[in-house]
Amino acid sequence: MDITYIHSLFLKCKSVSIDTRKIERDSLFVSIKGDRFDANTFANEALEKGASYVIIDNAEYYIDDRTIIVKDSLVALQELAQFHREYLKIPIIALTGSNGKTTTKELINAVLSKKYNTKATVGNLNNHIGVPLTLLSFNSDTEIGIVEMGANHKKEIKFLCELAKPDFGYITNFGKAHLEGFGGVEGVIQGKSEMYDYLFQNEKLVFINLDDPIQVEKTKKIKSYSFGSNGPNADVNIINVKADPFVQISYSTQSITSHLIGLYNANNINAAITIGTYFKVKDSDIKEAIENYIPENNRSQLLLKGTNEIILDAYNANPSSMEVAIVNFVQLDKVNKIVVLGDMFELGNESIVEHKRIVDSLLNVDQIECFFIGKDFCYNRIEKFNFHFYETFEDFSNDIKVNQFENKSILIKGSRGMALERTLDFI
């Protein structure tokens, strides 16, 4: 089927859906096969619920002339998104990195929306399916698109860049995330740097943090716009950064106090400031956008529950983000502190070693009660008066039910699969 024809039908629709449970009327439904289901079987249901057209890749499920048959529905979705991106011809900012992608994306969107009609990746729809859906959410009213890109193996960022064709790019950092898929930290750097390769080859612009030597080294040949604390070398000079507990940043004539916890969020804010400055958003509007941004979805949230103050950072975790979260928490001027840490996933052969590093980092911190949850943390069990290890969350929850926390400052951090936000039910 000709992609130009499919696009003409798409333009008649209000949205694209791959899930009949969330389908909207007058939408285009794309039947993408999953590991446990064949979405072709839902095509008729999609039409009954109000979809205008359905794309299928199994002719057995043809219904009527509202049915578009393709060789591969996923490929059709990707090609449609790529065609639509070229059709719109709007500036697109892409970002990736080991930590902080979603928070940075939301901050950039908040800042740029002060001056432009922007659209950005919803949630973390940042993979080979999510990026096409994001591109297809842009329309003729969109002035700037912001696309988050995630990856757990090499060549993935390259592929996503070829789909989105970004005009601008930013990599938050290079950390110990998805080590299993990337084959180690060097693999992470190579994989994320595929965005730099695309920007260089296509003579586009990269936003960089001059305080990150990897970014500086990898972007020498690329047109750039920068931020950093090294004075005149940076396009945006960051004068002062502190966190007590919220991140405060001074630059230019502005001083900003955010609602984000931890110095590890400072560069996420700095990137949004820098990109806003590049796109000529007024300093006062940048300040207002960042100060009004409230984190949610279990990302660096400061919560009060009963007599306890909680930093909930349980959306995800890897060794890099876990380390900086702990360092920040240790430095906070609080008493009666507790850390609740869950296993970090997708670390492959490095998993046991990386969990041991986290445990060891707390060995000399006697003033904090430490709760470690998961098999890999338990593999590194150490007998210490303030250390507690649990194979499962259920073991942990049964313990704290009878030892309620009161008047505590608590950090909760773990990979998504650990779902440590459940801890809130027992505090």
Q: CA nearest 211: which of 223, 197, 226?
A: 226
Q: CA nearest 8: which of 71, 80, 89?
A: 80
- Identify the segments of the chain with pLDDT beneath 70: 1, 176-182
- For residue 64, what is the DSSP state? S
Residue 352 has a pLDDT of: 95
Residue 244 has a pLDDT of: 78
Residue 35 has a pLDDT of: 75
- How many Å apart are CA 73 and CA 58, to the nearest integer? 9
- How many Å apart are CA 47 and CA 282, to the nearest integer? 46
Q: Hunting for tokens 């740029």 — which residue is that?
A: 112
Q: For residue 2, how far is the Cα from the chain centroid?
A: 34
Helix and strand numbers (H, E) in the chain are 16, 19
Query: CA Rg, the chain, in Å?
Result: 23
Q: Domain ranges in the chain?
A: 3-71, 90-291, 301-426
Q: Are 375 and 391 in contact (CB under 8 A)?
A: yes
Tens-place pLDDT, residues 17-41:
999 999 999 999 999 987 777 899 9
- For residue 175, what is the DSSP state? -
CATH of 301-426, one of 3.90.190.20, 3.40.50.720, 3.30.460.80, 3.10.560.10: 3.90.190.20
Residue 215 has a pLDDT of: 95
Tens-place pLDDT, residues 261-316:
888 899 999 999 999 999 999 999 999 999 999 988 777 888 999 899 999 998 88
Specify the pTM: 0.88
Residue 154 has a pLDDT of: 85
> In the structure encoding, which two tokens stand for residue 202, read together?
């296509």
Check if CATH label 3.40.630.10 holds for domain 3-71.
no
- How many Å apart are CA 241 and CA 263, to the nearest integer? 8
Residue 181 has a pLDDT of: 67
Residue 255 has a pLDDT of: 94
Q: Looking at domain 90-291, what is its CATH homologous superfamily?
A: Mur-like, catalytic domain (3.40.1190.10)
Amino acid (1-letter code) at residue 127: N
